[in-house]
Structure 1
């Protein structure tokens, strides 16, 4: 009796095991092969804002969510030293202006006029002395004295002109240099107002009033208000398959169970040596109703698509190229495209075959 019960028990186990064995047949459907990537959503043209100078924030002009124009002020830094420097430069520029040195030029102009008059007078005296000498009146010494006086007058006149021109050049140069120094100082003063380089939305203000900032530390994040992209990281082993125009299927943690679509438009050719991955950028073609910067995403970049392919579930494939039929025969097959659930059978199997799922 015990032997009979044991036999029945064994038979029940065998029947139950046989009942649990799963079967399937190949199906004809579309299949695509894709590359996995992870990444984040970013506002288009999203970037960090850095101040040009160090200082303490005196006043914030914006807050998160504000939309700003190009060149709009974001915050003001303490600039008392820069203000004083600009004031000094302005005073120096005023002092160096040519018009401010008009008296010096007038003084030299008067010297030129006096030298010109003396030259003209000495010229007349020389002509008169030559006429007298032609009539045998006067002495040779007097004539030579008149000639010497005239030459000295010409030299004095030319020297006065040179001094005037040299002073004018010096004043012009000093005025231009002072004006440039003033412009540089004003530019440095402007640097104490942190401005937006582009039109966009303020997504984050990273500092508060009273905090110290420097050119090495960002103070805000700005990007397009309505245009978003996906920045994906692709493993170096897969990057050769990625090209602009490929379709991207996206899953976002903020939208569980929904699939969104994008299209690759840029493949960064430089590899990140730390992560051994490449950055790929894609633009949304089917986007969720609301997006925010830095949302995480997982994606599949579709690299190949085939319609009406003969497919089986991947778990029915053994050792990469074998399947087991209903009569326990192990059949070698040739595979094609693969996704995360199915594999294409290119050769070795008909769509009428019945396959048995291998035991784990």
Structure 2
């Protein structure tokens, strides 16, 4: 019995030891698994981001302006004397050279045409002389009005000084009366009566001043009426002279009508319009033929005062004409207006475009990309890297495995990239995607590096 009991006890001891060993191994296994889970959790807290490298590069600020293309030269061919068309030598779209015959007119009654031109000249001369006389009278009246206004201005100034001196002269007496009223030497009624008498002395001066002011207003009204009459005149002196010269030229042309029956092209170009046929009248009021030079086209655009100072004649411009394809054509700034247009208050800029291939046509809509600012060696990053908060700009810079939130000063941008003036160096990496989940010191996982 004892032997069997001892064996049973030994078995129990062995079983207990085995249970302890198994329990310890299980505990150690659980601890290892917990440490692995902690490590995985720490790694899962890294924010995935995309980054780009700040680099030194050229950057420019470009603005787009639009308009309609026009020919570099347009010549409206007008007969010097009206006449019936005997022959038409061209058609719309035809290329012509300077001196080519476009239209021939019938000889008709040359003497009658000369007489008509003479009558037109005399009528124009009379009209011009009458208009000049009327314009001279109005300008003389305006000068007189201006002199009268200047004279009355001096009178008003003298009257105002005299009134001021008169007021100053009675002020001590009014002050003395006021003192007597305060002491009871005179009544309020007596004070007001004496004061009114003193102020009554000023009335002639006041009335005189008021009359002068009224006279000035009447003169200024008359001046405005004269200026309005001058503006309503259909032409100024130079235009009237030009009108008379034109009539004289027409008369001289009529006298040499035999040599003026052929309408010649004044330029190399293309016939853009033809409004007459054989047997119809060719008149001066409506040009029968128009010839345009399409070897170069012009694009007139308007710029604000802030943009025009950044544009210079000779500057190259990319011009986009959608109707002619997606590729730009090169244009050159021909001139920049030194003053604003009175209607738009903008500055005119003309761009000249070479059209030797002949793909472009007048009337086509065009867009010009003008480079207004340019910097050759600027630190640039993708525009997406910038985070704005109020009036400040920030970037998240990669530092080891985390980010640093850094304030930067930015400059021009070209739509995709932006210049960083200060706060960032070339070669530093910035976050361009994922900023919304970042904060100072946040650990990140770079999933994409932009070139």
TM-score tier, shorter chain, comes to 0.5 to 0.7
Change (3 A) 1:213 1:282: same
**1-structure distance, mates of 2:73, 2:290:** 10
Q: Which residue of 2 aligns with 1:165?
A: none
Out of 204, 218, 229, which is 2:297 matched to?
229
Change (3 A) 1:181 1:228: closer
Aligned length: 250
**Contact 1:49–1:196 (CA under 8 A) maintained in structure 2:** yes
Q: Secondary structure at the match of 1:185?
A: helix
**Contact 2:333–2:351 (CA under 8 A) maintained in structure 1:** yes
Change (3 A) 1:218 1:268: farther
**Is residue 431 of structure 2 the alignment partner of residue 355 of structure 1?**
yes
Q: Which residue of 1 aligns with 2:101?
A: 73
Q: Which residue of 1 aligns with 2:329?
A: 260
Considering fraction of residues, name the structure with more helix.
2
**Is residue 102 of structure 2 the alignment partner of residue 34 of structure 1?**
no
Out of 342, 345, 357, which is 2:417 matched to?
342
Q: Which residue of 2 aligns with 1:323?
A: 394
Q: Secondary structure at the match of 1:65?
A: coil
**2-structure distance, mates of 1:334, 1:181:** 69
Deviation at 1:248, TM superposition (A): 0.6
**1-structure distance, mates of 2:263, 2:408:** 66
Q: Which runs of 5+ in 1 are unaligned?
A: 1-14, 90-179
Q: Which runs of 5+ in 2 are unaligned?
A: 1-43, 118-248, 437-451
- Mapping for residues 1-360 of structure 1, pairs under 5 Å: 24-52=52-80, 59-76=87-104, 80=108, 82=110, 84-86=112-114, 184-187=253-256, 193-198=262-267, 200-209=268-277, 214-224=283-293, 227-237=295-305, 238-284=307-353, 290-317=359-386, 318=388, 322-325=393-396, 331-351=406-426, 352-356=428-432
Q: What TM-score do you get using the length of structure 2 for normalisation? A: 0.45
Aligned-pair Cα RMSD in Å: 4.2
Q: What TM-score do you get using the length of structure 1 for normalisation? A: 0.54
**1-structure distance, mates of 2:370, 2:285:** 36
Change (3 A) 1:195 1:277: farther
Deviation at 1:243, TM superposition (A): 0.8
Q: Secondary structure at the match of 1:294?
A: coil
**Contact 2:82–2:281 (CA under 8 A) maintained in structure 1:** yes
**2-structure distance, mates of 1:213, 1:73:** 15
